[in-house]
Amino acid sequence: MMTPGIAPGRLSADAYARNFNDLYPDFDPHEAMVAADRCYFCHDAPCITACPTEIDIPLFIRQIQAGQPEAAAKTIFDQNILGGMCARVCPTETLCEGACVREAAEGQPVEIGRLQRYATDRLMAQGGHPYARAEPSGKRVAVVGAGPAGLACAHGLARRGHDVVIFEAREKPGGLNEYGIAAYKTPHDFAQSEVDWIMEIGGISLRQGMALGRDITLEGLRAEFDAVFLGMGLGGVNALGVSGDDRDGVRDAVDFIAELRQTDDLSALPVGRHVVVIGGGMTAVDAAVQSKLLGAEHVTMVYRRGRERMSASDHELDHAATAGVKIITDAMPVAVHGNGALREVEFAYTRQGANGLEASDERFRLPADQLFRAIGQTLEATPEGLALEGGKIAVDGAGKTSVPMVWAGGDCTGGGEDLTVTAVAQGRDAAADIHARLMG
């Protein structure tokens, strides 16, 4: 329905259901056997190297071939306790599948992500938890943030016998898995089921509505616990810095995505008829594609540099284009026009100037009744005393910060590529380092 402005209920009920269903449904056993058979069991396999959590991919695929997806899942979880989510949200085309020799050979990699999901879904569906806790250590560790980094760290610590308290600012645990990823990548409330499953290890208690700097302080945590892990992500959002940025209809993409993930009724969620998304990353793609899936007529993503500089992968950009999103590159917003509410966004094409990227005189306007900002997030409320690097918490290889007995990982640190899987690797490695330090 071509209702102007920002309106809910643009689609029929089954269109919503169809649009937000599993993008890549689970393999059935025969499909999994055929897909697994394509793996060459490479020596020193490039896919393992390409995985930030270094899952032994050829081994788990061979275990699927041999008819034991549950054993395959154990191989995955040994390296990555959030292997179920990573199977759904990893940009595999730039990681394991991008490195697959069959991608090089024939442009058709082994479908590692889907095979990983096949294995992990089966083990998780069995019920029970595949790991047991070590003898209690008597040590207590505080984890700030129940996102991928915090959960991986907490599980690693609980497994080793430590008691963990997770402090989560939001209402629900899961972090970006719960609030920040496109709904069609992780439907059926998978993020919450996964958190519940991880917590089954025992020894982890979760305290929601506890934000660092508001409800708790780093000093307080350090006093109460033997060690602290910070994995609170990035709470702040970059502003556009142009006139009209505060008009009605201008929003942060992360809020839109979170609202969409939390709603029980997609048809009640309003979306513009003409939507413009500013940015070139995964958040921009997720906001743009989901606007389209909610029934927006025209959705345009605008990025200030060339396509090759976009942090969203080619696969994601192709998916956006297939969904009907128009992608404009080398243009930056210069003004947001409207009379109270947003009506148009004015852009200037960009060029390389003496001082970097600058606006040229060539301009164009896009009609818009909704504008999403997706130009990056920032660390907010950094506790004093923590050294920063590039605006994020500075850590060494094992996640140690500049403050004694405080570790950090995930998006709030500078190390990774802001992916779920890198956050898991950092949380996992920090847990190992914290354990070594506590028991050393």
Interacting residues with other proteins (CB under 8 A): 30, 33-34, 36-37, 40-46, 65, 101-102, 104-105
> Side chain identity at 272, as an amino acid letter?
G
Q: Minimum distance between the CB of residue 139 and other proteins, rounded to whole angstroms?
A: 40
User: What does the angle CA 418 – CA 421 – CA 423 come to, to the nearest 5 degrees?
Assistant: 55
Residue closer to other proteins by CB (options 41, 364) is: 41
The span from the CA of 283 to the CA of 147, in Å, is 16
Q: Note whether 155 and 81 are within 8 A (CB).
A: yes
Q: Minimum distance between the CB of residue 411 and other proteins, rounded to whole angstroms?
A: 31
Size of the chain, expressed as the number of residues it contains:
440
Beta-sheet strands, E only, within 110-160:
140-144
Q: Minimum distance between the CB of residue 25 and other proteins, rounded to whole angstroms?
A: 19
Q: Minimum distance between the CB of residue 71 and other proteins, rounded to whole angstroms?
A: 15
Residue closer to other proteins by CB (options 40, 364) is: 40
Helix (H/G/I), strand (E/B), else coil: 236: strand
Residue closer to other proteins by CB (options 28, 264) is: 28
Q: Minimum distance between the CB of residue 121 and other proteins, rounded to whole angstroms?
A: 20
Q: Minimum distance between the CB of residue 134 and other proteins, rounded to whole angstroms?
A: 33
User: What does the angle CA 131 – CA 134 – CA 140 come to, to the nearest 5 degrees?
Assistant: 110
Q: Minimum distance between the CB of residue 65 and other proteins, rounded to whole angstroms?
A: 7
Residue closer to other proteins by CB (options 37, 396) is: 37
DSSP string, 376-400: -EE--SPPTT--EETTEE---TT-B
Strand 204-208: give its sheet, edge to edge: 204-208, 163-168, 140-144, 227-230, 406-408
> Side chain identity at 300, as an amino acid letter?
T
- Cβ–Cβ contacts within 10 Å for residue 435, how many? 21
Burial of 375 (0-12, 13-18, 19+ CB in 10 A): buried
